[in-house]
Structure 1
Amino acid sequence: MNELSPWAVSAYSHLAEARHPVLTKEIGGLKVCYLLTTDSLWITAERKGEQRVAFRALYCPGNAPEIENVKDEKQSTIIHIACDTGRFKVQIALSGTIKLPVIRYTTTLIPAADLLIPYWPKDIVIGSNVNVPKGVIHAGQEGTRTGFIYFSTGKSNGSSVFYLQNLTALGDYCDQTETSLGNSVGGKWPELGFSLPVSTVKALRAAKEVVISDALVAIENTVPATEAEMVQQYFRMLGSIYLLMPKPDTIYQDWPAILDKGLKDLNNSPGCWSQVAGNKYFNAYVSDYETPPEIMVQLAVLLPLQDYIEWSGATLEVIETIKKGLSAFYDKKLGTIMRWLPAAEDKLKGDEEQKVPLVMDSWYLHHPLLNLSRMALKGDKLARELFLGSIDYAIKVAHTFK
């Protein structure tokens, strides 16, 4: 059973009454209609014998929208609509391939007054008021990650839809209303898609144009039967949409200057360093003096510094400072390097399961050994000594934890 909200019931009713499309298009066997109802502009998409999927490109709650102008080209349409809420511009573009058509609709609003948004309905409804098909939602937005939903209608004779809301385009809306786009795409079958974040305190400013939707929709007339087919379809549809996403211009980054500033901070900031038994060690986190020095941290900084001097020909005293303290991580009794500096293990409080002496994830053994091997191959005698002195222990670990 599919429970419906009042907005979905109203949408199905209005769509059933809308018999005269503003325009009708076709792409890849997909019939696409632009329908104006008593409160919305809908884009419907359906293939012969399949269920219709309707996308709400514009919503004018409580008042009838009126079309002011339509500019139509072969695969691109701009519709200007006015209502009491304000003036809307909806840009609709059809692209993609015969097998995988893509619909993109971008809607902007110039509010007639300072507007609060106490509620906004989802922008997808599936089927009709007399026939709501069964379907499955394969994946969707999690938190503030990509605003998408991927679903299929029906089974053998159904279709699959990948809907993506370009959240970047909605940045101005969020700035004005001080809202988040987290979990803004989702819903419950058959009401899915995007809804504007609720704003009951900060309003959209009157007379200032703002993007309220930028949706890209890929539709394929197959329903995946297996997990492997679903994964393949997911990437195929995502790829078709990604190519249409606006991409930022390439700008020059002055990495040498950034690097010089980083080196200065690394050398001179007291928050980067701790001192134990006459040697200086990098903190894992800035100003973290509660945790003992870790060998992985020392080597993770040392290797890039060595790459830098090979590239630049510069000399860095900090390299010798790091190397001076490395031998203190070696435990002769166990025959291996240790994660925590043995001379500072008394700082460990056991507040995490690995923050106790003689305990470490395998990552903290193998990553330092990898870096020591790289240094040894470049002729570093100390690194060679520490690596070869620990390798038997690493083999023992591998045999113990198969």
Structure 2
Amino acid sequence: MKAKLCWLAAGLLLVVALLVPPGSATAASTRYEAEAAPAVCTGTIDANHTGYTGTGFCNGDNAVGAAVQFTVDAVVAGTATLDIRYANGTTTARPADVFVNGVRAQSVPLDGTGAWTTWLTSTVTVPVTTGANLVRLSPTSANGLPNVDRLDVTAPGPSPSPSPCAPPSASPTSAPPRVTVWLAGDSTVAEPSSGTTCPVGWGNQFAQYFNGNVAVRNSAVGGRSIQTWLYDPNVTGTKNSAGECVVSPQTYSARWQAMLDPTNGMKAGDYLFIQFGINDSTSACPRHVGSARYQQLLGVMASAAKARGARPVFLTPAAAITCSGGTAVGNRGFIAETNAAASANGVPVIDLHRLSYTLYNSLGFCPFNGDYGAGPVGAFFCNDHTHFETAGARQIAGVVARALRDQQIPLASYLR
């Protein structure tokens, strides 16, 4: 009797298999709110028009390229359905291109909805790859996007289970692939100099947060802007007509060439973390980097990583300790530029600037007497307000590790 039931079950599965097109998979719907990390809104997060879900919506800037970006996960590659919930209180459509992992996949008109409190859904289908996918809605007119509430994604899921009569597979579970995390940055990321205990960059402490399948390669160097890191020693002390430091010859530094090496450099599945912005604000060459040039070079590095199958991640610069009354506050530049480059290149960004001074507030660093060599501040920072002791570097590295999990960056699956 049991054998007959197995044959009947197998027959039913065969009928299902014949009715389902080859390559089909079960689907699961996931909601991504526009106001919640790791979504990125080029504009403001507002809550002044009722009817939204979550805690608010993305009110994008009225400009071409003022995008909203979501990080969408897919178990397997295939076709995903995107339900874009939006409100357009004007009578004019606000069309947008839909980019997936930097490639234009679709366009969507996003017509007027009659009122800013009237929310409609526009549906498109796009291709996705296994793992994290960056889905960006980029307006094609100077009117920008409508208000975007959320993205509901029906992504391809795992294929139907085999016959219940089939014996369990004897094949062992495959081990997770080994991943290298490459770090590019300045002294707040770099290894300590030989024989010194301070400063210690957070990159020196990063590996301890991962399991044994992750190797961290720290190529950060103190005193570098993004341009000097990329082009050492070829950035001159002369500015061109655009106000940028002349690079001559246009030859990459040995450290960047090592990352680009086809045999020993970045490979598919690796990550490239990039954090600059502290030394770039210097007015004089060779460190000086202007806003547009900074964004351009971030794009160069991101594109090179993607071309090798690696995943770039941008970080805003770690904050120094600056107190306003009893509160630690931000004090770094190139925050907007880092976010703009992330949006333009479809790259996740970790706002380490905000996360670091938020950490200082949680540790009660403000107010203090200005002595960076004593007390809790002295145990965290060197004898300045910028560089870290080992204990401080460890906590900053922990902030970055937590951001991976909070922002659902796939590398988080390797965290201890």
TM-score by length of 2: 0.21
Of structures 1 and 2, the larger Rg is shown by: 1
More strand by share: 1
TM-score between both structures, scaled by the size of structure 1 = 0.22
By relative contact order (CA 8 Å, sep 6+), the higher-ranking structure is 2
